[in-house]
Amino acid sequence: MLENYIRAGYPAIAITTPEEGRALDECHRVARDLQMSVATWSSTQGLQVEETDQRASISDPVAALQAANKLPENTLYILLDFHPFLRSPDVWRSAKDQFSVQKQRGIVYIFVSVQFDLPRELEREIVVTSLPLPDRNDLEALLRQVAEAAEAEVPEDTAPVVEAALGLTVTEAENAFALSLVVAGSFSAPVVAREKEQLVRKSGVLEIYSPDANMEAVGGLSALKEYLQLRVAAFSPEAQKYGLPAPRGVLLCGIPGCGKSLCAKALAAEWQKPLLRLDAGKLFGSLVGESEANTRRALEVAEAVAPAILWLDELEKSLAGVQSSGKTDSGVTARVFGTFLTWLQEKKAPVFVIATANAVDQLPPELLRKGRFDETFFVDLPTPEERADIFAVQLRKRHRDPEKFDIPTLVSVTENFTGAEIEEAVVSGLFTAWNDGRREVTTKDISAAAKAITPLAVGMADKIDGLRDWAEKSARRANGVYTQMSTRPTRVIRREVK
C-alpha cells in the first residue's frame, strides 16, 4: 500500500506501527524499487541524508519540515515520532506549505510512529496507513532465521509454532522463539502461545483466555450447539476449496445467567481456537483519536491471530450512548461503533465473533441487520429437560454422580431458574452438607437450597415476555422446544409473587 500511495503522488503518508525498524526496512525497499533517495529525521539524531551521508543537527520541528528544501529531488523523507509536534499551529501551517511545494520536487514526507493523531487542518493533507502484522510466511521465515542463528533444529511441522505466534510483531515473535529455545530446548507452540498471551494483554484492550471446559460443560442450548457444530468444519482448507465462507459469528441475546458467556468460553475449547475477549470499555482513551486507534489495533490483532474467536460480552453496555454520541463525546462512540460495524461487514479473516447481550432493546438497530452476524439466537430460561441436564453437569463438575440424586425432584423445585441459579443451589447444598459434619450432600440439601433462592425471573416477568415476543420475530431459539408453553413461566411467577 505504501508504494501505491507514493506512485499516486501523495505528498505525505503516516505509517502507524510499533515496529519502527520494520517500517524503515519497508521504506528502503520501496525507495530502491522506485529509485528514490532516502533521508531520515528524528528529534535526537537530527537529519541524515543517506545518499550523500549528509548530516545536520536539527531538533526544531518547523526547521525539520523545511529541511526538505535542501534534499535532492525524488526523496523519501522519513520523520520519526513527529506526531506530538503537529498540534502546534506553526508546525501544521509549515507542513501545509511544504507539502504543496515539495510535491513538485518528488519529495514524499513519511511519518512513522506508534500512533498518529491528525489535527483537522491536516486531515486532507496526510494519508494514514498501518503496517500489517507479519503473516504466516513472514513468521516461518523468521523462525528459520532464529533457528539458523541459534544453530537449532527446525521442526518438521512448523505450523503449530507459527500459528501460536500470529498476532505478534516481528520483534515480539523473535523474542518468543528465542525464549522457547531457552525454556523448552526447542520451538514449542505452548511456550510461544503463553508469551503471546502476556504481550496481547499489555495492549490493554484484548485479553486471551485459556478455556478449560468444552461444550459438554454447557447444559441445554441444544439448538445453538447443533448450529455451532455444523460451522466448525468451515475453517478447514477443504471447506474453503469447496466454497464455504468462513463463519462470521453469532449474537446471543437473552436472560442473564443462562449460559451465554459460558458458551463463548466452551466454544473456543471445542473448536481449539484462541479466544480473544474485547473489553470495549478499554477502547476509549482520553486523547483525541486514541479510541479510534485502539479499536483499529484490537481488530488488527484479532485478524492476525485468526483463525480465532472474538468474544464481546454484554455488548449493549459497550454501545451505550451511540445515539447521543455527537452531543456527549464529540462523536467518539459513534465513530468507534462505525469502525466495528464496517469490520463486521467487510472482514475477510476467519475471526468468529460471538457477542452476548442481555438487553436487546438497547442495541442499535443497524447491528441486528443481516450481514453483521450469521445468526441471532435467543437464550431463554432452561426447559425442564435442560434443567436436568444442567444439574447433571454441575454435579459432575463437583465430582458427584448424578445417578445418585433425584433429578426430577430438583427439576420440579427450580422452575424459572437460570443456569447460574441452579449452580448456586448445588453449591449451597454442598456448603450445608459440609457444615453438617462434612457428610455427603443429598437431594434434600440441594432442594432446600433451591427453595431459598428467589429467581431473577421473578422481577423480570415483563422483560422476559418482551424478549420472547421479540425473539419470535427476530431470532432463533438456542434452547430446545419449550414443553410448558401453555403455561408461560412468567405467568406462574406472577401468581407466586401475589
387 and 414 Cβ atoms separated by less than 8 Å: yes
Q: Could you tell me how far CA 190 lies from the centroid of its own chain?
A: 21
pLDDT at residue 63 in the model: 95
Backbone conformation region of residue 250, classed left if phi is above 0, alpha if psi is from -120 to 50, else beta:
beta
Q: Please give the span between the terminal C-alpha atoms of the chain, in angstroms, as a whole number.
A: 68
CA angle 309, 310, 316 (to 5 degrees): 140
- Measure the CA–CA gap between 101 and 89, rounded to whole angstroms: 19
Walk along the chain (498 residues) and give the pLDDT tens digit of each residue: 788 999 998 999 999 888 899 899 999 999 999 999 999 999 999 999 987 778 889 999 999 999 999 999 999 999 999 989 988 999 999 999 999 899 999 999 999 998 887 888 888 899 988 888 888 889 999 999 999 999 999 988 888 898 888 878 888 899 999 999 999 899 998 888 888 777 677 766 788 877 777 788 888 888 888 888 888 878 777 887 888 888 889 999 888 888 888 888 888 888 888 888 887 666 665 454 567 777 887 887 788 777 788 998 888 776 665 555 544 455 677 777 888 888 888 888 888 999 888 887 778 777 887 778 889 999 999 999 999 999 999 999 999 999 999 999 999 999 999 999 999 999 999 999 999 999 999 999 999 999 999 898 888 888 888 888 888 888 888 886 544 333 344 333 333 333
User: How many CB atoms within 10 Å of residue 284?
Assistant: 16
Backbone conformation region of residue 17, classed left if phi is above 0, alpha if psi is from -120 to 50, else beta:
beta
253 and 360 Cβ atoms separated by less than 8 Å: yes
Element (H, E) at 480: none
- Measure the CA–CA gap between 65 and 97, rounded to whole angstroms: 10
4 and 34 Cβ atoms separated by less than 8 Å: no
- Measure the CA–CA gap between 116 and 129, rounded to whole angstroms: 10
Strands (DSSP E) contained in 315-368 are 351-357
Strands (DSSP E) contained in 233-374 are 249-254, 275-278, 308-312, 351-357
Helix axes 443-451, 419-435, angle to 10 degrees: 120
**β partners of residue 128:** 14
pLDDT at residue 119 in the model: 85
Which amino acid is present at 457? A
- Measure the CA–CA gap between 425 and 434, rounded to whole angstroms: 14
Buried/exposed 82-112: b ≥16 CB within 10 Å, e otherwise: bbebbeeeebbebbbebbeebeeebbbbbbb
- By the 10 Å C-beta count (0-12 exposed, 13-18 middle, 19+ buried), 56 is classed as middle
- Measure the CA–CA gap between 425 and 445, rounded to whole angstroms: 9
277 and 207 Cβ atoms separated by less than 8 Å: yes
**Bridging pattern class, strands 108-113 and 127-130:** unpaired
Give the strand order in the sheet containing 375-379: 206-209, 275-278, 308-312, 351-357, 249-254, 375-379, 476-477
Minimal CA–CA distance to 288: which of 454, 123, 494?
123
- Based on C-alpha coordinates, what's the Rg of the chain? 28
Predicted model pTM: 0.70
- Measure the CA–CA gap between 250 and 475, rounded to whole angstroms: 11
Minimal CA–CA distance to 42: which of 82, 93, 99?
82
- By the 10 Å C-beta count (0-12 exposed, 13-18 middle, 19+ buried), 443 is classed as middle
**What digits encode the pLDDT tens for the residues 157-191?**
888 898 888 878 888 899 999 999 999 899 998 88
- Measure the CA–CA gap between 118 and 336, rounded to whole angstroms: 17
Helix axes 260-271, 222-231, angle to 10 degrees: 30
